[in-house]
Amino acid sequence: MRESVPRNPAPTVDVIIELAGGIVLVRRKNPPPGWALPGGFVDYGEPLWAAARREAKEETGLDVELTALLHVYSRPDRDPRLHTVSTVYVGRASGIPVGADDAAEARVFPLDALPAPLAFDHAEIIADYVRFRRDGTRPPPGS
């Protein structure tokens, strides 16, 4: 009898990096295409906050100070590749973002002039961030 291997969602992190003039988005090198928040998969043995800072640095070249935990997004269809659970942080940095690793490009965008298309569920995440910045509310559990 063969033991069954558990199928679990993959933990990921995303970071909304605040810079003068807007937030940092990266243009993805790999499918799915589009612009995205800097982020990626958490390594085994790595704390979520450390993964967020590492991914931000790898994809933008920026050292990010994490300032808030926005929300956890876990809808099974949020990533077309596989079921992921993303812990999304807000952070701030200074400097000029430069696309690296699996980011073809990194740029600062004003919140009223975001590029299209946005990958994954990042339009929803950014809308939640805008509400958070406006009135301090975060999405409720189960959203």
Active-site residues: which are they?
A: 105
What does the alpha-carbon distance between residue 104 and residue 43 come to, in Å, rounded to a whole number?
Answer: 22
What does the alpha-carbon distance between residue 52 and residue 37 come to, in Å, rounded to a whole number?
Answer: 11
